[in-house]
Structure formats: structure tokens, C-alpha cells
A and B are shown apart, each in its own frame.
Chain A
């Protein structure tokens, strides 16, 4: 197993070439091409069921999404040959559309295990639980995640919005090189959207890239993308600037989808 951290990346951070993927034998992605440079924020919009979440799973290595064609390189590495944990250690992070419940695993344990997994690879000292609580507390509180929530089982009994904040907290703790946000804005109230966006924006930097999936133009007012893509029928149908999101909102997807499958 070749797990390592990426210290520096002077090339295109993420390069997706002609990715075809199927779920349960059904083709979902039919030739995705996407290239994201370091420091850039790309947004993906698209109708329900078009394959947006499937793309995030292909990137993070979920077994149920089978890649049948194409390649992905992450900072020059062959991403598809890596296990999900290796990808995470290498700096890939997915804030999930539907975060998974982990009964009996406290938020603190979960976060500490994740941080320690990374430290272990980096050859750094592992943190114990007391120390860790201090590390996590200020970040958690700024995202509106209370101590009480940290002690509870991960995502169990959390409201939709609480789950999303919790995802962003994980992201803030892990400081990944590449962040994928899958409908992080869904379920957030107006104030929370601001809080979470601030959290995301504070992670913006010249060597960190993001892929933001959303249905709503409003999120992109907070997290301004460099490019917006329209994904439909398993392909990227159109790419444009920030204004594309506005046009989509006004005119619907139908005018942007050239070929129906």
C-alpha cells in the first residue's frame, strides 16, 4: 500500500479523462472530462439523477460505483488505483450529500481517528482525546457544532443542517488539498448557509481546490466559483463562468442540455 501525503503539486491538481461509470450495472457517467487547477473552485449543477453524486463517489473510491473506462489523475497520481483511505490521506475530501450515521462512534472519536490516521502517515505524534477536544473545540464552535454534538454518535439524530455542518467541521480539521462539497447547502437555514460558507471560504487558498455541487445559485454568491459546469445524462453539457448559474436558475436545465441520452 502506497499511502502518502502530497506536499506540493505543481501540476493540474485533478484531471478527469473520459470517465465512464456504472452503478448496479447501469451506466451513469458517460464520458466525463474535467480538469481543475490548484486554487480553483469549480461548481457543478445539474438535474436530479444526472450523476453528480456518482461522480463524487468515483473520485473517492466507493466500491458500488464501477469505473468502466477512463482515468483520473490526482496531482500526477493514478487516483483509480488508490483505496478510499489512501485518497483521503493524499488530500481528497468529500462532504457527502447524505452523511452516514455511525451509531456508537462519537464525533470526537471519529474526528480524532481521522486526524491521527493522517498524522501516522506524516510521522507525526498522535493526539490523545483530551488534547484533541481542545484542538477541535474552537473550530467546532465557529461552525455551530456544540460540545454536546461532538460527544454524540456521528450523525445519529442530527438534523439535516447539523449533518452538513458536521461535514464541514471534518473538512476544517483535515485541511484537505481538494474539497468536494455535494449539496452542502441543502438543508441549511439562511444563517447556517452563511456560517458554513464562511467556514468554506476560510479554507480557500492558492493550493487548495474545490468542487462544489449545488442546485442553488445562491450558494455561489457566497462561495464564488471560477467555472460552472452543467452535468446531465452523465456528461458535462456546458461550461461557463459564474453567470451560467444565474442563467440556469432563470431558464432551467432544458435549454442547456444538447443531447438527450
Chain B
């Protein structure tokens, strides 16, 4: 890591060191990078599927924000309030209801206590080198708080766009979402961009008692880009967190999602789909920490890989000693549509309580010739028959999205991908 690390640190880290409210967090992150970097054995294990050498091409050029970005058109029909982050900086915010507090993380002078208490609290930068880099280097981003019992009717769209133009850049956007007790919100996080860049994003969610959040992430980065994401949540008693991640973009992506279920009767749903083509590397790393009794976690990932794409799924469920009556389900299924694709699945259960219901597994599959024939026998072309079957495969996961409008949008994004990437010959000649 040492040689890589230097390449990943942009030249603006001074700013964060000077920000008084950020100081201690910053110093710890710097220490963490110095001390362990990526050399610790646990880190090596967690990152063993990611080729860190591929980051050597990067020069430490900090991202500078561009003027305007706009949300993918298909979100237009959602009546949402938008936040735009461009090259790591918050550049646009709609008018939010009075029960939402927004803070631009580029503001280094003074931060409210709800923010300073929460920022960094869901992440151990020692264990996550890229989150440490983000902590030392983020120059902007957004923190928001939804106040007690506020029910946000409109979903929030958080658009994170990175424009590299002719330079290779590193963007370190930072996002913090705090839901006070009983607050309710849907958040859509969309990642787009163009050029060669690293989008090293950290999103933290602090979810209060009885609060409810739907958090739906769409990663459609440029296929030359690198997407490294850490999404960490802390969930209090009786809260409901519905998380879904759909990835179609980036040359290399590593989406790490972790949650601590730190109160009884918490419901955590963490589903997603990765659709990979050409030589994309798509990695999903999840960690669910059942720290308190009677919580439910449900995890279903469905991947589709064509051409030479590679998928990695590392999922771990930890059930602590006092987390009795835990109900945990974890499954990664991948559909392999050519002989050249690769999938590595590593599901893990670590259980210290004795009265729990936990299951996990991983499967790989191909399309069923009999089903293709049945569709074709009704006049549907082979390409379309395959696309229909692949869509159905992926929709099993997408259907876990609670918000129906958002579910439809994600279904549409997936089916657009099918139309572009599913051909009638993939599994035969493996191209």
C-alpha cells in the first residue's frame, strides 16, 4: 500500500487538517493510514480481490467542482428534492422542508454538534483505508439531519457526479445522514461521471429509534472510472433500513456496505444487483453486525455477468453473544452468461448467540434452454427471450425495494442494461 497510498492522497489535505471541528477525526485517519495502510492481514483479506496496482496510474490531483450537473432524465418523474455533488463538492441544493437541516461539508469554520457527534462514528478508518483517505481529504459533501418524527414525503435524490475531462482525478465526496427518532425518508444516491477518475465516496447513516429509511443507490459511473464506496450505518432500536444497490458502471467498483444493528427489533434489508459486462470488476462487500437481540436482516444479491466481467461478493453476518432471536438471511446468486466471466463468492457467518435463525449461501447459474425455447415458441426472439429471463432474475432482488416508484425506476435501469448487453449468442461462443 505505501506506494499506492501516496498516489491516492490528493494535494488538498491541508484544508481538513486546519478545520477545527474536523481536526481529531482527520488526525486519527492520517495515523490509521500511516500505521496500518493496507498491510494488516485483515485488510489484506478484505481487499484481496481488488487489484490495488490498478490505482498506480493515478496522480494526486484533487477534484475541482464543475458548474452544473443534472440528474439522469428518468428521475424526472419522481417528485423529489435534489442535492448535487460535483467532483466531491456540494454545488446545488433544492429547497428542503424546515425539518431537514443541511450542512455543506466544505464549510470549515464551525459545524453543528449533531454533525460533529455523528461524523465518522459509524466507520473504523483503521479497517478501511479508502475511508481513511476520504476522511483526510474530503473537501466537500453534505450532511443532513431529519428531525424527530418528521416524515419526508418527497424522496431525496443525491446526485454524485465526477467529471475528469482530460485530467485523471480523485474525488472524495462525503455524505452524512442523521435520522432522529421516528424520522422517515427515502434517499436515492446516484453516481455518474465521465473520464478516468476515482470516486472514493463515504456515506454514513445514523438511524435513530423507530426511524425508517429507504436508501437506494444506483452506480452508473463511466466505464473507465473507479468507484470505491463505503456505506456505513448505525441502526437504533425498532428502526427500519431498506438498502438497495444497483451497479452497472465503473471499470472497477467496490461497494462496501456495513451496518450495526444496535437496538432490538431493528429491520435491515440489504439487497442489490450488479450487472457487469466487458472487463468490469464489480465487488460487493457487506457486513452486518447483529449487536442486539431480535433483529432481522435480509440480504439478497443477484449478479449478471457477461463477456469477461468479474464479480466478487464478500458477505459477513456477525451475531454477537447477546443477540438472541436474531433472524439473518444472506444469499448471493450470480447468472454467468459467458465462459470467460468469473465470480468469487465468500459468504460468512460468525455466530456467538445460541438461539438464532441464520442461513447463507451462494449459487451460480446459467439461463435455462427450456425456458428460452418456451418464449421463442411464442414468437419472441432469442435475444429478447434471454433479456426477459435475465430481467426476471434480477427483479427478484429489485422487488425488495419498498418504494414502488423507485422500484419501477430501478427496474427500468436494469432492463435498459439488458437491452444493451444481452445478446442472443453469449453463452454459446462465450463472447
**CB-based contact A104/B395 at 8 Å:** yes
CA distance A246 to B389 in the complex (A): 44
Within 8 A of A (CB), among B295-323: none
> Which residues does chain A contribute within 8 Å of B381, judged by CB atoms?
85, 117
Contact A117:B384 (CB < 8 A) given known A85-B379, A102-B389, A103-B392: yes
> Which residues does chain B contribute within 8 Å of A117, judged by CB atoms?
378-381, 384
**CB-based contact B378/A170 at 8 Å:** yes
Chain B CB within 8 A of A253 CB:
no
Chain B CB within 8 A of A99 CB:
yes
Chain B CB within 8 A of A108 CB:
no
Q: How far is the CB of A164 from chain B (nearest CB, A)?
A: 15
- Which one of A88, A93, A101, A174 lies within 8 Å of B376 (CB-CB)? A88
Q: How far is the CB of A114 from chain B (nearest CB, A)?
A: 4
> Which residues does chain A contribute within 8 Å of B393, judged by CB atoms?
104
**CB-based contact A113/B395 at 8 Å:** no
Within 8 A of B (CB), among A22-56: none
Least CB separation from B392: chain A residue: A104
Contact A100:B369 (CB < 8 A) given known A85-B382, A117-B379, A117-B380: no
- Which one of B369, B376, B395, B396 lies within 8 Å of A85 (CB-CB)? B376
**CB-based contact A102/B371 at 8 Å:** yes
Q: How far is the CB of B178 from chain A (nearest CB, A)?
A: 37
- Which one of B369, B377, B395 lies within 8 Å of A60 (CB-CB)? B377
Q: How far is the CB of A92 from chain B (nearest CB, A)?
A: 8
CA distance A103 to B346 in the complex (A): 26
- Which one of B369, B370, B382, B384 lies within 8 Å of A113 (CB-CB)? B384
Chain B CB within 8 A of A84 CB:
yes
Chain B CB within 8 A of A177 CB:
no
Chain B CB within 8 A of A96 CB:
yes
Chain B CB within 8 A of A200 CB:
no
> Which residues does chain B contribute within 8 Å of A118, judged by CB atoms?
379
> Which residues does chain B contribute within 8 Å of A105, judged by CB atoms?
388-389, 392
Q: How far is the CB of A125 from chain B (nearest CB, A)?
A: 17
Within 8 A of B (CB), among A70-128: 83-85, 87-89, 93-94, 96, 99-105, 109-110, 113-114, 117-118
What 0/1 pattern do residues 375 to 418 of B give for CB contact below 8 A with A? Answer: 11111111011001101110110000000000000000000000
> Which residues does chain B contribute within 8 Å of A113, judged by CB atoms?
375, 378, 380, 384, 388
Chain B CB within 8 A of A207 CB:
no
CA distance A109 to B380 in the complex (A): 12
> Which residues does chain B contribute within 8 Å of A64, judged by CB atoms?
369
**CB-based contact A110/B395 at 8 Å:** no
Chain B CB within 8 A of A218 CB:
no
Chain B CB within 8 A of A238 CB:
no
> Which residues does chain A contribute within 8 Å of B395, judged by CB atoms?
104
- Which residues of B does A touch, CB under 8 Å? 369-371, 373-382, 384-385, 388-389, 391-393, 395-396
Q: How far is the CB of B366 from chain A (nearest CB, A)?
A: 15
Least CB separation from A117: chain B residue: B379
Chain B CB within 8 A of A62 CB:
yes
**CB-based contact A100/B371 at 8 Å:** yes
Q: How many inter-chain contacts with C-beta < 8 Å in the A-B complex? A: 75
CA distance A23 to B249 in the complex (A): 43
> Which residues does chain B contribute within 8 Å of A60, judged by CB atoms?
377
A sample of 21 cross-chain residue pairs with beta-carbon separation below 8 angstroms, ordered by A number, consists of A60-B377, A64-B369, A83-B382, A85-B376, A85-B380, A85-B382, A85-B385, A88-B378, A93-B377, A94-B377, A96-B374, A99-B374, A100-B370, A102-B374, A104-B396, A105-B392, A109-B388, A110-B375, A110-B388, A117-B381, A117-B384
CA distance A94 to B375 in the complex (A): 11
> Which residues does chain A contribute within 8 Å of B389, judged by CB atoms?
102, 105
Chain A: number of interface residues, binned into ranges? 20 to 34
* Contacts A85-B381, A114-B380, A170-B378 supplied; 11 other A-B pairs, CB < 8 Å: A62-B373, A83-B376, A85-B376, A85-B380, A100-B370, A102-B371, A103-B396, A104-B392, A104-B395, A110-B388, A174-B378
Q: How far is the CB of B329 from chain A (nearest CB, A)?
A: 18
Contact A114:B379 (CB < 8 A) given known A100-B370, A100-B371: yes
Which of A60, A85, A110 counts the most B-chain CB atoms under 10 A from its CB? A85
**CB-based contact A84/B392 at 8 Å:** no
Q: How far is the CB of A196 from chain B (nearest CB, A)?
A: 18
> Which residues does chain A contribute within 8 Å of B376, judged by CB atoms?
61, 83-85, 88
CA distance A170 to B389 in the complex (A): 18
> Which residues does chain B contribute within 8 Å of A101, judged by CB atoms?
371
Which of B377, B381, B396 counts the most A-chain CB atoms under 10 A from its CB? B377
Least CB separation from A91: chain B residue: B379
**CB-based contact A84/B373 at 8 Å:** yes
Q: How far is the CB of A129 from chain B (nearest CB, A)?
A: 11
Least CB separation from A170: chain B residue: B378
Q: How far is the CB of A168 from chain B (nearest CB, A)?
A: 13
Chain B CB within 8 A of A226 CB:
no
CA distance A103 to B95 in the complex (A): 43
Chain B CB within 8 A of A189 CB:
no
Least CB separation from B387: chain A residue: A113
Least CB separation from A1: chain B residue: B381
> Which residues does chain B contribute within 8 Å of A153, judged by CB atoms?
392
Chain B CB within 8 A of A63 CB:
yes
**CB-based contact A88/B379 at 8 Å:** yes
Least CB separation from B393: chain A residue: A104
Q: How far is the CB of A52 from chain B (nearest CB, A)?
A: 17
What 0/1 pattern do residues 152 to 185 of A give for CB contact below 8 A with B? Answer: 0100000000000000001000100000000000
Which of A84, A93, A99, A102 counts the most B-chain CB atoms under 10 A from its CB? A84
Contact A84:B369 (CB < 8 A) given known A103-B392, A104-B393, A104-B396: no
Q: How far is the CB of B20 from chain A (nearest CB, A)?
A: 54
What 0/1 pattern do residues 169 to 213 of A give for CB contact below 8 A with B? Answer: 010001000000000000000000000000000000000000000
Least CB separation from A121: chain B residue: B379
Question: Which 10 pairs from chain A and chain B are nearest by CB?
Answer: A104-B392, A88-B379, A114-B378, A84-B376, A100-B374, A117-B379, A85-B376, A105-B392, A89-B379, A117-B380
